[in-house]
Amino acid sequence: MAARTHIVTNQPPPLTGLDLFATDRALVEAVDRHVGQDLRQEVREELSGLGRSAGSAQVREWAAQADDNPPRLRTHDRYGHRIDEVDFHPAWHRLLGKGVAAGLTAAWTRPAGHVRRAAAFLVWTQAEAGTCCPLSMTHAAVPALRTDPELAAAWEMRLTSMVYDRGLRPAHQKAGVLFGMGMTEKQGGSDVRATTTVARPLTEDGTYELTGHKWFCSAPMSDAFLVLAQAPQGLTCFLVPRVLDDGTRNVFLIQRLKDKLGNRSNASAEVEFDGTWARRVGEEGRGVRTIIEMVAATRLDCVLGSAGLMRQAVAQAVHHCTHREAFGGPLVDKPLMRNVLADLAVESEAATTLAMRLAAACDDGGDQERALLRIAVPAAKYWVTKRCAPVVVEAAECLGGNGYVTESGMPRLVRESPLNSVWEGAGNIQALDVLRALRREPGAFDAYLREVGAARGADHRLDRAIRDLLTALADLEGAEAGARRLAERLALVLQGALLVRHAPPEVADAFCASRLGGDWGPTFGTLPHTLDLASVVERARPVA
C-alpha cells in the first residue's frame, strides 16, 4: 500500500483530448461573424477537426519531441560531397504535414480562405509554433509571385497544395512545395536597402546569379526562397530554387543554424550564395514593392501566432486554477486570482478579435479593406506581439512552481512568446510603418476611422479615446519619437471598438475600463473589482 505522502491529490487533470477550436468562444464567434451562412457549418467542422488534433495527447507528444530534438545541419555526405541538408526529428514532419493538410498554405484558393486559415493558424500555433514559420512563408509567397504571371502559373498550384511532399527534388516533380525567405543581412538587419548581395544578369529572360550572405534565412529545408539582392537597377526580388529543373542542387551553402531562445523545432540559418541561380520576380529596382505583400501577410501571421500563444497560456492558467484548491477553496474563486485570470482573458480575447477582423479584410479585398490593413496590420503587429510575452509569463505564474517546470508546457510558451515581436520587423519598424501610412496614405486613416466609428456612442470611454487619438494625430511633424505610443493607441482603440460591437458586455466593459479608461495598474490583476470578472473568466475556460 502506498504511503500517504505518495498519494497524488489537488493536481489538475491534463488539459488534453480537447477541441482547441470549439472550446475557444471568442474564436468560434469570430469565425461565425466573418464566414457566410452557406459555409459556416463546413468551416466549423473543418476547424473542429484540426482543434481536436491540436489538443490531442499525441500531437502534444510530437510537439515536445520536436522541441526537445532541434534540427541538425549536415553540410556534407559520407563521401565528402557538399549537400547542405537539415535533418529534423520525425515529429516535426508529422506536425508540418498536418499543418499543410489543414489548409494553412491554401487560403488563396478557397472560399473565405483567409478567415478559415487564420482560425486554423491560431489553433495550430498552440500545438507547436515552430512549424508555423514555413507554413506562413509558403502562404505569403503567393501574392509576391503573382506580380509575375509566368512564375505564378509555375508555382502557385504547388504552393497552395494541401499535400506535404518532403524531400529535395525539382519542384515540377512534387505534389506540394514550401517556400522560405531571406532578406536580412548582418550589416543591415531590418534596413533591407543596405543589402550587399549582388545579382548579375545571365540572360535577358530574367535569370541571374547571386553572390552574398544572408544572416537570417528561415526554414532552409524549403523548396524555394524569395530573397532580395542588388541588381544593376537597384534592390530586386528573386526566386531561388533549392533544386534546379534538371535535378542538380543549386548553390545554397548553409553555414550554420542559429541556436535560438525559442522556436527551436524550426531551423533558421545563415546561408551563402556563390554563383547561385535565381529568377527575377517583378521589375529590377522594385524589390521592396514586390515583396511587400509577402511581408504584410507574414506580419498578420505574427499577430495570429501571438493570439494563439496567449489563448493557450490563458486556457492552461484557467484550467489549473479551476481544479487547484488553496486556502479553503478553488483558486479560480479567490478574488485576487480571479482578477488576474480575467485580465489575461480580456487581453487574449482582444488579440483574437482583432486578428480575425484583419483576416476578414484580406478576404474582402476591397479598396477600403485594403486601406484599413495598411494601417491596422503594423499597429496590430506592434501591439499584440508585444503583449504576448507578459501575458504568457503571468499565465505561467498562475501555475506557481508547476508552471516553471518544462513538463507543464508553459516554459515552451514562455520561450516562444517574444518571437513574433522580433520577426518581420521589430517594434520600431512597425511603429514607423504606422507613421508612414498616416503621412502618405490618408485613405488608410479614413478607413480606420470608419471602422472605429461604427462603435461610437456605445461606450463613453471608447468615445473619449477616439477623441484623444484625433487630437494626437492633428500634428504629425516630429512624431517619430512618439511613434510607439501612437501605434499602441491606434491598436487599443481598434480593439476596444471591436469588443464593444462584438464581445459580451462584461468583456467589453473590462477592456474599456482598463485599457481605455485608465482604471488599471501596470501589472495584470488590477482590473476594477466592481466588474463582472467571474463571467469573463468563465468565458475563457476551455470546456466543450
193-216 pLDDT, tens digit each: 888 999 999 988 899 999 999 999
Are 156 and 57 members of one domain? yes
Report percent pLDDT > 70 for the chain.
99
With beta carbons less than 8 A apart as the criterion, state whether 51 and 542 touch. Answer: no
Which of 142-146, 214-218, 311-315 is least confident? 214-218
Are 476 and 505 members of one domain? yes
Are 253 and 345 members of one domain? no
What three-state secondary structure class fits 251?
coil
Q: Mean pLDDT throughout 370-381?
A: 97
With beta carbons less than 8 A apart as the criterion, state whether 531 and 477 touch. Answer: no
Are 279 and 349 members of one domain? no
Q: Of the residues 285, 307, 342, which one is the last residue of a structural domain?
A: 285
CA atoms of 541 and 544, how far apart (whole Å): 9
Dihedrals phi, psi of 263, to nearest 5 degrees: 55, 40
Cell 466609428: give the residue: 453
pLDDT at residue 185 in the model:
87
Does 9 fall in a domain? Answer: no
Neighbours of 262 (CB within 10 A): 19
| Residue 1: pLDDT over 60 | no
Are 242 and 308 members of one domain? no
Are 110 and 151 members of one domain? yes
Are 306 and 446 members of one domain? yes
Are 222 and 313 members of one domain? no
Q: Mean pLDDT throughout 110-121?
A: 97
Does 188 fall in a domain? Answer: yes
pTM: 0.96
Are 346 and 225 members of one domain? no
Average pLDDT, the chain: 95
Q: Mean pLDDT throughout 223-235?
A: 96
pLDDT at residue 3 in the model:
65
User: How far from 294 is each of 101, 260, 434, 435, 438, CA to CA, in Å?
Assistant: 21, 24, 17, 20, 21
User: 224's torsion region: left (phi>0), alpha (psi -120 to 50) or beta?
Assistant: beta
Report percent pLDDT > 90 for the chain.
90
Q: Mean pLDDT throughout 175-190?
A: 88
**DSSP codes joined into one string, 378-440:** HHHHHHHHHHHHHHHHHHHHHTGGGGGSGGGSHHHHHHHTTHHHHTTS-HHHHHHHHHHHHHH
Q: How many domains does the chain have?
A: 2
268-281 and 234-241 beta bridge pairing: antiparallel
Are 266 and 295 members of one domain? no
Confidence of residue 2 (pLDDT cuts 50, 70, 90): low
CA atoms of 214 and 130, how far apart (whole Å): 20
472 closest CA partner among 489, 497, 452, 457: 489
CA atoms of 156 and 176, how far apart (whole Å): 10
Does 44 fall in a domain? Answer: yes
| Residue 165: pLDDT over 60 | yes
pLDDT at residue 188 in the model:
73
Q: Mean pLDDT throughout 145-158?
A: 95
207-218 and 268-281 beta bridge pairing: antiparallel
CA atoms of 85 and 222, how far apart (whole Å): 10
Are 237 and 296 members of one domain? no
Looking up residue 168, the CATH number of its domain turns out to be: 2.40.110.20
Query: Rounded to a whole number, what is the largest CA-CA distance in the chain?
Result: 83
Q: What's the pLDDT tens digit per position in 323-355?
A: 999 999 999 999 999 999 999 999 999 999 999
pLDDT at residue 292 in the model:
87
Does 396 fall in a domain? Answer: yes
Does 25 fall in a domain? Answer: no
Does 466 fall in a domain? Answer: yes
Q: Of the residues 253, 285, 317, which one is the last residue of a structural domain?
A: 285
Q: Mean pLDDT throughout 380-390?
A: 98
CA atoms of 133 and 92, how far apart (whole Å): 12
Does 94 fall in a domain? Answer: yes
Give the end-to-end CA distance of the chain in Å, rounded to a whole number: 37
Nine-digit cell string for 85: 541538408
Looking up residue 353, the CATH number of its domain turns out to be: 1.20.140.10
Are 105 and 189 members of one domain? yes
Q: Mean pLDDT throughout 433-439?
A: 94
pLDDT at residue 91 in the model:
98
Q: Which distant-in-sequence residues (6+ apart) come within 8 Å of 493 by Cβ?
A: 452, 462, 465, 466, 469, 516
Q: Mean pLDDT throughout 368-377?
A: 96
Buried b (16+ CB within 10 A) or exposed e, 207-242: ebbbbbbbbbbbbbbbbbbbbbbbbeeebbbbbbbb
Neighbours of 534 (CB within 10 A): 15
Does 462 fall in a domain? Answer: yes
Q: Of the residues 285, 303, 331, which one is the last residue of a structural domain?
A: 285
Radius of gyration of the chain (CA): 24
pLDDT at residue 191 in the model:
80
pLDDT at residue 478 in the model:
76
Parent domain of 209:
40-285
Q: What's the pLDDT tens digit per position in 61-100?
A: 999 999 999 999 999 999 999 999 999 999 999 999 999 9
